Structure 1
């Protein structure tokens, strides 16, 4: 068999089948653009690390190397440093997880590795994963690599819809599909910005019990609420059916790449074996750095500082959207986290509009990157965590002008009715709500996630 692209890649015929659907994420594709100083980036979810006491953190890390170099620069345990695992349990207690034991914690290279490990342990090719629609783009990449099929479950302003989850479970059962788990970001969702309501949390735990459903709770933003104390985690309600993923990327430093998985002991054993096969052990220096930070620095006060900073930037975003966006544009109103999920007026396509936005020196992430089935063109994710408030206001102003220009273009060619807002049939829920339909009119399964099957439709 000759290579498919012999002049471009002489090894093209040797790659595993699972690589055929691999592609750059919508976020990574923007990196070269958002680094340009003239561009206001509302795209990447980069934490405001300059708000940290950098001198104190730098001294702390220097002291670690000079005083404990024999430990911090050496190999460590595949499960992670015992002291750090103890402190992780203290952090989770803020979200109501008071029964966690350090022996159940596996330290990972960010929660992204934790999600990859969990998926490796549980999923075979062709298995079904239920995930919110939209869903975190990094999770979709992990599921694609595992050759799993993703079925999106609709959500609204109160998060995942329990009735839609039960419908999906019943249909999967009727079709003989193997549902391995529900993947959910319940707090300040990425990308939607919404939070799962208290009644729905109880309903979803009840469904998990009735349908023997495993839940993977991904919660990097849970401590970053603006108006209330942290909500009790799903794991706080069920220690048997919920595996919890956590991270210090949003509350301390993303560059250290320290996350964790809280799982029952039998699962923990398999996760440790998987991480040893993958990376031998998580980096010792970064683990010691996080543990020392939690031991010596006022980290709770630092989290409060972060939330105040992000609240100010959230407010600048919402105020600018309210003042500047044309009629027919809708968006979520997050009460924590990093993101606003915006829906364009009927007929506009965020992916097609993106080059014109970049030309106007503003960047966002098209919604298509957050769906495994090719949907999402009428949406975009706006991130307010990194730019200063004045930059946010200018970025929203530029974006509004781009959207208005797109509307003018459509009016000129008389292709859509831009008067009374109408939801796009395959992507709107009616009434101007910024989410897709509760009962999709397209084939709900794709396989694998982000596969080539849907490239022509995007």
Structure 2
């Protein structure tokens, strides 16, 4: 490279258009703010509490899985290969995941209908790519929604249509109206993405009656439901049935994550895709899971064998009942939500709350809740909150793919100690009062 030649310089407009989309910058911006103000208390990260992790557990669980392989007849060479070599694209621990789902979630599917993915994010990517093939096909999503599905749609050039939750939560009538409106425009609605349990970001949970109604709607309107429920087993109390456990017509593709229930560093998720696939002549060619595995083979090749091994050891150690393994964390997070709600009530007495126009929902589990405020809760407000008041949160506008949520913020209760929550809510209250002036 000469002094007069600066080398390759790429113009932003020559890169994929999704890279200019603000949604792809949201997490980077939050990370930047967090690093810029290390003394601030952060309600932003939806991360499990660090106190549940012990470094030595990784080796113990790995050993447990290797013992399992040997007990089932694997030779030393087989065990070595299982850890060090490329594995099957669809995953090496599908049987164990299927067994856990049957024991804990009443989901009875064959192992071959499961694809083990690099976190739930890859499962989303695979499902959207397979199910939404052309420019006239659309993906629908309950809004506000997790930014991961929005980002996947943008990167894949898939049109995402938001179905807004009302004050009382998601309504099937709104989804059906959106489906009919898209068809009237000459487009084909293919799938609907939803987090039925303690959703990210709003914390809402879909009632059982609505779940049944949604399954009926999916069959009537011929769409697939993409169910993402990572917070069920880390929430206190008895949980409602998953959409997949209620599914009798194979209308649900479940997108699963073991990040919250086991540990994020493993980067292990899964997709249950038991829908039969037929060719133009109507002959069955396999399952949707087989098609997802084809796509995966061109993206990540396979999910980390070591990550799968550690996860498998944890499942085995729990006797296939991750609900029991997560009983302690679920109680902790339930207490964290309770403490947060109590601190909000104490920081904003009812009369002041009503005068300011501040309100919040009261989720029964999960990591998140939404707080409505009397000002624009944007990036500028976030920086002021971190810099002047020492508290960080997430703008709810990040989670509205077609606009909205400008006067609301998301609080995550999972990562902080109870003392940290109390301190953080005090700081947040001071910021809200100052910003409302």
Q: TM-score, normalization: structure 2?
A: 0.85
Tell me the equivalent position of 1:290.
311
Superposed CA deviations along residues 384-427 of structure 1, whole A, max 9, x for unmatched, are 0000011111111111111111111xxxxxxxxxxxxxxxxxxx
Deviations 1:148-199 (A, max 9, x none): 2222112246542111112112212222221111000001100000100011
Query: In the superposition, relative to structure 1, how do residues 375 and 122 fare at CA in structure 2: closer, same or farther (>3 Å)?
Result: same
Instruction: Assess if the C-alpha contact under 8 Å between 1:65 and 1:73 holds in 2.
Output: no
The match for 2:383 is 355
Q: Deviation string for 1:279-336 (max 9, x for gaps)?
A: 1111111111111111124744330001011011111110111111343111111111
Aligned to 2:140: 130
**Counterpart in 2 of 1:55?**
56
Give the distance between the partners of 1:340 and 1:349, measured in 2 at CA: 15
Deviations 1:416-451 (A, max 9, x none): xxxxxxxxxxxxxxxxxxxxxxxxxxxxxxxxxxxx
Residue 71 of structure 2 aligns with which residue? Answer: none
Of the candidates 201, 208, 218, which is equivalent to residue 198 of structure 1?
A: 208
Match of 2:83 in 1: 72
Secondary structure, in 3 states, of the residue corresponding to 1:382? strand
Instruction: Name whichever of 88-97 and 133-142 sits farther off.
Output: 88-97
Q: Partner of 2:234: helix, strand, or coil?
A: coil
Distance change in 2, residues 1:404/1:156 (3 Å): same
Does residue 32 of the first structure (1) align with residue 32 of the second (2)? yes
Q: Residue 244 of structure 1: SS of its match in structure 2? A: strand
Aligned to 2:358: 329
Within-5 A mapping of 1:48-447: 48-61=49-62, 68-81=79-92, 84-94=93-103, 96-123=105-132, 124-156=134-166, 159-227=169-237, 229-238=238-247, 239-264=249-274, 265-297=286-318, 299-325=322-348, 326-327=353-354, 328-345=357-374, 347-359=375-387, 360-408=389-437
Q: Which runs of 5+ in 1 are unaligned?
A: 1-5, 409-458
Deviates most, 390-399 or 60-69: 60-69
My pick for the range that moved more, 178-187 or 53-62, is: 53-62
The runs of 5 or more residues in structure 2 that have no matched partner are 1-5, 68-75, 275-285
Q: Offset at 1:12?
A: 4.1
TM-score (norm 1): 0.82
What is the count of residue pairs matched by the alignment? 399
1:351, 1:63 → 2: CA distance? 46
Distance 2:398 2:136 in 1: 21
1:90 is displaced (CA, Å) by 2.6
Contact 1:217/1:244, CA 8 A, preserved across alignment: yes
CA displacement 1:57-109 (0-9 Å, x = unmatched):
3333367689744321211000100xx21221233235644321101000000
